[in-house]
Amino acid sequence: MRQKVKLTVSLDQDLVETLDEMSRQSKKPRSQVVQEALRLWRRKELHAKLAEGYRSMAEEDRDTAEQHLASFKETLK
């Protein structure tokens, strides 16, 4: 089991109300709701970074292919 660390945070009132509602609905303690939300956020950020990296790689691959295609066409002349 992971080591737990106790901390204090300040939240806007509306977020506390949302947290309490989520806690009641899920029948989970506030801490668990916050942990799950942070893990979800971290996963979403990682997916966004990976998607951006893949898009960038695809653009580079397309540019490289176009350059080689142009060279190949010149060779065939």
Q: Is residue 34 part of a domain?
A: yes
- Domain-embedded: residue 56: yes
Which amino acid belongs to residue 29? P
Query: Looking at residue 18, what is its pLDDT?
Result: 98
In terms of residue numbers, what domain contains 46?
Answer: 14-76
28, part of any domain: yes
Banded model confidence at residue 9, pLDDT cuts 50, 70, 90: very high
- Distance from C-alpha of 36 to C-alpha of 38, rounded to nearest angstrom: 5
In a domain, residue 35? The reply is: yes
For residue 27, being part of any structural domain is answered with yes
- Contact in structure between 23 and 37 (CB atoms under 8 Å): no
Q: What share of the chain is helix, strand, coil (3-state, %, to 5)?
A: 80, 0, 20
Tens of pLDDT, residues 67-76: 878 777 777 7
pLDDT digits (tens, 9 = 90+) for 19-48: 999 999 999 999 999 999 999 999 999 999
Determine if the pTM surpasses 0.75.
no
